């Protein structure tokens, strides 16, 4: 079957809004190629852990790219399962980073079946948290809900329903894709939300039911397929009604770590504690838990503020 969608250049590593003509529904789409590959390949994560982190990063970009102010959105989930903590950090310049803390043996133990273990299996009982950081002049705002359902998609839907009373559907997909260039990680996500009815618009429930039904036909392989452009993907879903992509912005893997930041953190330790960090060659080495960059500092470089 051929898609009769408007021709569009291949596009990747982006977040964009989309609008279905005449529908009281707003949506967002994220496609990640080398950006998510850089984040997931920085550590030797087991496949289920890498997939969970990829979902968290995609979700952070989906939600964070809608922010109307400069700042950061931090999506995290923590629990008592094999993965203790997963965090994704998006800032409004389109910079994305993330990492997981996990028990390798425990992850292996729950990964014996045919299906990839989901968020609830990996995280166990715990909390889903979204934090807005608008900078030093503002207090952080935070929303917290229990982890509900087996996926981060369901956790996010529950968050929006409980914290903001906004009906929301989320799809997230992460997988390794092999092309002529080799095998790399890819991720994709989509989100739709109902715009509440009013006197002018009337009831929106019928339109919401229809949009949800169409949205559910979106397949994981479509979200991560590098040969399917965002325009074609949306056309497949909503071509009967007309859909347009707008406000696309680039996403890239950027960590905020630096030698100066690491030095400032080390300076907060007591001299005796820093002395215990010195290795046999006289250097202190610190590895960024996000991007795995190793920083080497001489003790004399570290000056208390």
pLDDT at 202 over 60: no
What is the rounded CA–CA span in Å between residue 153 and residue 190?
Answer: 10
Backbone conformation region of residue 242, classed left if phi is above 0, alpha if psi is from -120 to 50, else beta: left
The pLDDT, as a whole number, for residue 168 is 94
pLDDT of residue 243: 85
Give pLDDT tens digits for 100-136. 999 999 999 999 887 889 999 999 999 999 999 998 8
* 157-192 residue pLDDT tens: 999 988 888 899 999 999 998 877 788 999 999 999
The residues, ordered by sequence, that sit 6+ positions from 59 with a Cβ below 8 Å of its Cβ are 75, 88, 152, 153, 156, 170, 172, 189
Q: In terms of Cα–Cα distance, which of 49, 156, 153, 145 is closest to 100? A: 49
235-260 mean pLDDT: 88
pLDDT tens digits, one per residue of 83-101: 999 999 999 999 999 999 9
Q: Provide, rounded to the nearest whole percent, the portion of the chain with pLDDT above 70.
A: 93
Q: What is the dihedral of CA 50, 55, 57, 63, to 10 degrees?
A: -170
Burial class (CB in 10 A: 0-12, 13-18, 19+), 249: middle
Q: By the 8 A CB rule, do 83 and 122 touch?
A: yes
Q: What is the DSSP letter of 300?
A: G
Class of residue 156 by CB neighbours under 10 A (exposed 0-12, middle 13-18, buried 19+)? buried
Which stretches of the chain are DSSP H helices? 34-41, 47-64, 104-109, 119-123, 152-159, 205-215, 220-224, 230-238, 259-267, 271-277
């Amino acid at each position: 079957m051929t898609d009769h969608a408007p021709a569009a250049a291949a596009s990747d590593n982006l977040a964009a809004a989309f609008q279905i003509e005449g529908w009281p529904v707003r949506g967002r789409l994220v496609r990640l190629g080398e950006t998510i590959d850089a984040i997931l390949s920085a550590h030797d994560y087991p496949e289920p852990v890498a997939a969970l982190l990829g979902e968290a990063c995609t979700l952070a970009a989906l939600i964070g790219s809608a922010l109307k102010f400069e700042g950061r959105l931090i999506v995290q989930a923590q629990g008592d399962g094999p993965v203790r903590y997963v965090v994704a950090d998006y800032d409004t310049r389109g910079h994305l980073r993330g990492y997981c803390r996990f028990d390798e043996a425990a992850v292996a133990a729950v990964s014996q079946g045919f299906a990839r273990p989901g968020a609830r299996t990996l995280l166990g009982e715990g909390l889903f948290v979204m934090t807005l950081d608008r900078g030093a002049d503002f207090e952080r705002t935070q929303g917290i809900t229990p982890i509900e359902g087996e996926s981060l998609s369901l956790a996010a839907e529950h968050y929006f329903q409980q914290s903001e009373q906004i009906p929301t559907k989320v799809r997230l997909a992460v997988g390794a894709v092999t092309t002529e260039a080799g095998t790399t990680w890819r991720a994709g996500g989509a989100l739709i939300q109902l715009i509440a009815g009013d006197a002018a618009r009337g009831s929106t429930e019928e339109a919401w039911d229809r949009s949800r039904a169409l949205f559910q036909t979106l397949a994981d392989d479509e979200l991560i397929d590098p040969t399917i452009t965002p325009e074609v993907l949306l056309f497949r879903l909503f071509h009967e009604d007309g859909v347009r992509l707008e406000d696309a912005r680039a996403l890239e893997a950027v960590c905020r770590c630096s030698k100066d930041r690491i030095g400032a953190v080390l300076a907060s330790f007591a001299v005796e504690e820093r002395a215990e960090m010195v290795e046999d060659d006289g250097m202190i080495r610190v590895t960024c838990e996000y991007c795995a960059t190793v920083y080497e500092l001489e003790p004399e470089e570290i000056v208390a503020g």
